[in-house]
Amino acid sequence: MDTVTAGALAEHMINGVVLGALYIILALGVWIILGLLGFVNFAHGAMYTLGGYAAMEVGNRIGFWPGLVISPIVVGILGMIVEVAVMRRFYREIPELSLLFTFGLAMFIEQALRILWGPASYNISPPVEVSGPFVLGAFSYSRYRVFAMAVILVTVVALWWFLERTRYGTIIRAGSRDPEMVQVLGINLAPVFTFVFGLGVSMAALAGLLAAPLGQVEPAMGNTVAMAAFVVVVIGGIGSFWGVIVSGLLVGEVVGVMKLLWAPASEASMYVLMALVLLLRPRGLFGERWVRFE
């Protein structure tokens, strides 16, 4: 392996870590909604897209840094409004209704974005404070990608602390396991459901915001990454926080390296990986037995 090839491999492997980090933050949103509410949110990719557009609009008006905080909150509030107005009607119905509704919501959001902003793609430049490369001898790497990984790391640690070390996090974890018992204890789960749905979609929006300067903002930008988030959750295993972390990094590395070795197969490689894992471990790498899903 010559120097150029070694450098290209190193760059793609680091890019795989960044891609995996974006998959993690997106997949954790899927994981927390699936764990407590018990359904797959097919509109998760659309919320990712809304995060990108929110970053563009808020950034153009008041700057990237305020948008980093405001955009996920705005999308999260929108998600909570949808949960209160529509989603909670489906909790006692057959699961297919919630799946159909979120699928329709995803298509509605995508077409609404096309009407409001048109089908064109938009480029977003990273803020000057984190633009340009880090230079280490002959190797250079994007400052913004390092910044994005740092934001995701802080977010993952904060989410873990919230779920494991706070009373509200304990209620969420208990509700995901045995919601009937939690209600018997006198805890109203309705506001918990609303908060969790808002938290999940706000994480999708944060992923879209961070990914926007790495690519382009356009109405269908969330379609591919949404499928990747579901793949990460399946490989990691339902019920496992750390399974999502390990799986996200693994999927990111596989896709990142395949972009160098055989670019046309890079997206398909994650599905091949999922099939291989499920053949060996049907519940995923760290999957637990959850009665409500069996």
**Can you give the pLDDT at residue 224?**
82
Sign of CA dihedral 152, 157, 158, 162: positive
Which candidate, 199, 212, 240, places its Cα nearest to that of 121? Answer: 212
pLDDT tens digits, 163-198? 999 988 888 877 766 677 777 777 787 888 899 999
What structural domains and CATH numbers belong to the chain? 3-293 (1.10.3470)
pLDDT tops 90 at residue 199: yes
pLDDT tops 60 at residue 38: yes
**Can you give the pLDDT at residue 206?**
95
**Can you give the pLDDT at residue 169?**
84
pLDDT tens digits, 236-276? 988 789 999 999 999 999 999 898 888 888 889 999 999 99
Helices 167-177 & 190-211, crossing angle to 10 degrees? Answer: 100
Q: What is the mean pLDDT of residues 97-120?
A: 93
**Can you give the pLDDT at residue 114?**
95
| DSSP codes of every residue in 94-154 | -HHHHHHHHHHHHHHHHHHHHHHH-S--B--PPPGGG-SEEEETTEEEEHHHHHHHHHHHH
